[in-house]
Amino acid sequence: MLRGAVQRIRAQRAIIDDANAAISDTYRTLRMAGLNPGIVKKVVNRLGMTREERAELEERDELLRLYWQTVEDLAFLDPDADGDDGAEA
């Protein structure tokens, strides 16, 4: 029983590894075509969400947009807004 379970798990891991490699190739192709793989990942994730989960995410996105509108001018007032703290690497 144990040996059989271990063999099945190893076979399933090989399938997962192959699928992950195929997904990576797809994202690489998207990148070469000028698309943003990170955004595509978000789209794919949203497609897997329930209607309620998407509504919650859209509500958070809207709150972020509203909060950012309120404070975005501060980014132009802060001399370190570009992330440069003056320290050298």
- Domain locations in the chain as residue ranges: 1-35
pLDDT in tens, 23-75: 999 999 999 999 999 999 999 999 999 999 999 999 999 999 999 999 998 88
Left if phi > 0, otherwise alpha if psi is -120 to 50, otherwise beta: which for 86? left
pTM of the model: 0.64
**H helical segments located in 33-84:** 37-47, 51-77
